[in-house]
Structure 1
Amino acid sequence: MPVDYEINAHKYWNDFYKIHENGFFKDRHWLFTEFPELAPSQNQNHLKDWFLENKSEVCECRNNEDGPGLIMEEQHKCSLKSLEHKTQTPPVEENVTQKISDLEICADEFPGSSATYRILEVGCGVGNTVFPILQTNNDPGLFVYCCDFSSTAIELVQTNSEYDPSRCFAFVHDLCDEEKSYPVPKGSLDIIILIFVLSAIVPDKMQKAINRLSRLLKPGGMVLLRDYGRYDMAQLRFKKGQCLSGNFYVRGDGTRVYFFTQEEPDMLFTTAGLEKVQNLVDRRLQVNRGKQLTMYRVWIQCKYCKPLLSSTS
């Protein structure tokens, strides 16, 4: 049965989007609070100025290991660090010049080739991350790529009234398929977004998927991840028989989900040659007054950066 879930994974996800279409998820406007790297560049400059002016206040905000002070402090530290990666000029060395030259040769023609800032979201679903970015970030140099395992999801993105082919390119892609390449050259992306997508694939395939993605990043480029944390309410609600392997479960609709510790994404990204900017656990107690439910949510949030002088090709 576990083999069936892997072989027919595309069917289960297509069925999911056929049933729910674009009514299941809400647009993620929290993106720009948690990931200011996605906002327009002028907003990032304001954030940097704010951080420098209020550095002492931010540093005093730490309450305890799991409290909001940790999130606020780490968030602004990582925002500043990511800005430094964007603005720092790497030393001109022969190998770097050669890599840039190689990129120019192979990168003449591809969707968004004239863009100055490129974002890729892997596992975009029906566009609940992509469309808020396009609506909020009016940088004329921005180009957004988005892909999903489900062809049904991509059809819903492409038929959305907000979809603009001059600023966005949506395509079907299996991030576990080692033979299928991405429609962009290596070293061409500024940001890669993984939001509740890495958890949907078989744990044994995660490392190679991250390795391939890391090669697409420019030096100084960053991966942004938010995913399910260990002992999240969703994990605790699974019944006996739904666990396929350690912390990897199958839902009633056939889709699967993994629940991470902080150490696991750290190992995946550092093995792929990336450096840690942020890795935290976001624990929240949510109350649904309508259903009179209290939900204990646990999410992992990470930012990992490609070194400015990287040996990873």
Structure 2
Amino acid sequence: METDEDLSVAPNGDIFVHRLKELTEEEKQRLEAQNSRIIPESKAAKLEREAKRHWDIFYKRNETKFFRDRHWTTREFQELINFEPDQKISFLELGCGVGNMIFPLIEEGFSNFHFYACDFSPRAVEFVKSNKLFNESRMKAFCADLTTEDLFDNISEGSMDLASLIFVLSAIQPSHWPHVARLAFRALQPGGVLLLRDYGRYDMAQLRFKPGHKIAENFYMRQDGTRSYYFTEEELAKLFTDAGFEIVSNTYVQRRTVNFKEGIDVPRIFVQGKYKKPSNDG
């Protein structure tokens, strides 16, 4: 039974909880069935080598039409708006896709922000640059592989006030996560905050995978060759504290995706976190 201490409800209906979803017997059977056919190590290694190509093909096929613009970010992340109007803010979006987060912020009038947007996919970056809202005087878009050091070819270490990882970490091979977390830490100035939202453990998308799509525990291949991991809040807490961050918040988000026209009513589970680089960090 859920108690007041277990959850809080946001105005948009998001439910924030601090415990893992309890699986039904049917859901346990679905997860067990996934183990009947695991992706071979050789194919998993090929998926890793060709990750950039799969994402570039994804954006070639879907262009800017797949992901919805993220108009919810200022509601969920008050850190985006808790500044004086004339305070200059440097914001880095790690894994920007086609700009579904930064362009809604620009439309909302974030005139004091200078945006830095990077993505693995060259095609995605080109879509950002071709957007009618793209303005070189206050935006920089560039390619960067978060599993390497090339981010710092385009920004200076310790220069960002805010950074984000929105549905990005889940697409990266788990062995690279400590590097990505440390990269974000290095990009932020002392007192800077990293904002994260991603897929939570036992989300409906995880439960729907058929045998032949599982790479490793909680890590899967989609039909198009892109990959997705499903997190617990404990995993993220350890990952980011190990990288040097202080945890501001770290929780599950439960919501429903509803489309009455198509008869869709699907429960979703995400993880959401805010992680601060200590102000006294040198």
**Coarse TM-score class (shorter-chain normalised):** 0.7 to 0.9
The size of the alignment, in residue pairs, is: 239
Aligned residue for 1:254? 225
CA deviation after TM superposition for structure 1 residue 35, in Å = 1.0
Query: RMSD value over aligned CA atoms?
Result: 1.6
Any conservation in 2 of the 1:40–1:138 contact (CA below 8 Å)?
A: no
CA deviation after TM superposition for structure 1 residue 139, in Å = 3.2
Among candidates 255, 259, 262, match of residue 284 of structure 1: 255
Cα gap change, 1:125 to 1:158, in 2 (>3 Å): same
Aligned residue for 1:210? 181
- The reply on whether 1:122 has 2:94 as its aligned counterpart is yes
- What SS does the aligned partner of 1:4 have? helix
Aligned residue for 2:169? 198
Q: Which has the larger radius of gyration?
A: 1
Distance in 2 of aligned mates of 1:161 and 1:179: 27
Cα gap change, 1:279 to 1:180, in 2 (>3 Å): closer
Among candidates 46, 53, 61, match of residue 11 of structure 1: 53
Distance in 2 of aligned mates of 1:4 and 1:248: 15
- What SS does the aligned partner of 2:195 have? strand
CA deviation after TM superposition for structure 1 residue 138, in Å = 3.4
Distance in 2 of aligned mates of 1:138 and 1:186: 23
Distance in 2 of aligned mates of 1:247 and 1:32: 30
CA deviation after TM superposition for structure 1 residue 234, in Å = 0.6
Q: Please tell me the residue identity of whatever aligns with 2:152.
A: S
Q: Percent identity?
A: 45
C-alpha offsets along residues 238-286 of structure 1, whole Å, 9 cap, x if unaligned? 1111010010000000000000000111111101111000111101133
Cα gap change, 1:135 to 1:287, in 2 (>3 Å): closer
Among candidates 145, 148, 160, match of residue 174 of structure 1: 145
Larger fraction in helix:
1
Any conservation in 2 of the 1:39–1:133 contact (CA below 8 Å)?
A: no
Distance in 1 of aligned mates of 2:215 and 2:67: 25
Any conservation in 1 of the 2:103–2:133 contact (CA below 8 Å)?
A: yes
CA deviation after TM superposition for structure 1 residue 116, in Å = 3.0
Any conservation in 1 of the 2:144–2:150 contact (CA below 8 Å)?
A: no
Any conservation in 1 of the 2:190–2:281 contact (CA below 8 Å)?
A: yes
Q: TM-score, normalised by structure 1?
A: 0.73
- The reply on whether 1:232 has 2:274 as its aligned counterpart is no
CA deviation after TM superposition for structure 1 residue 41, in Å = 2.7
Distance in 2 of aligned mates of 1:167 and 1:203: 33
- What SS does the aligned partner of 1:194 have? strand
CA deviation after TM superposition for structure 1 residue 40, in Å = 7.0
Distance in 2 of aligned mates of 1:22 and 1:273: 35
Alignment of 1:129-144 (within 5 A): 129-140=101-112, 142-144=113-115
**Deviating 4+ runs (over 4 angstroms):** none
C-alpha offsets along residues 171-219 of structure 1, whole Å, 9 cap, x if unaligned? 0011001466342222110001110000000001000111122011111
Distance in 2 of aligned mates of 1:42 and 1:190: 13
- What SS does the aligned partner of 1:205 have? helix
Aligned residue for 1:245? 216
- The reply on whether 1:26 has 2:68 as its aligned counterpart is yes
Any conservation in 1 of the 2:219–2:229 contact (CA below 8 Å)?
A: yes
Q: Please tell me the residue identity of whatever aligns with 1:26.
A: R
Query: Unaligned 5+ residue runs, structure 2?
Result: 1-42
Query: Unaligned 5+ residue runs, structure 1?
Result: 44-114
Q: Please tell me the residue identity of whatever aligns with 2:220.
A: Y
Larger fraction in strand:
2
Distance in 2 of aligned mates of 1:266 and 1:138: 30
- What SS does the aligned partner of 2:106 have? helix
- The reply on whether 1:151 has 2:122 as its aligned counterpart is yes
Distance in 2 of aligned mates of 1:249 and 1:154: 25
Distance in 2 of aligned mates of 1:279 and 1:40: 19
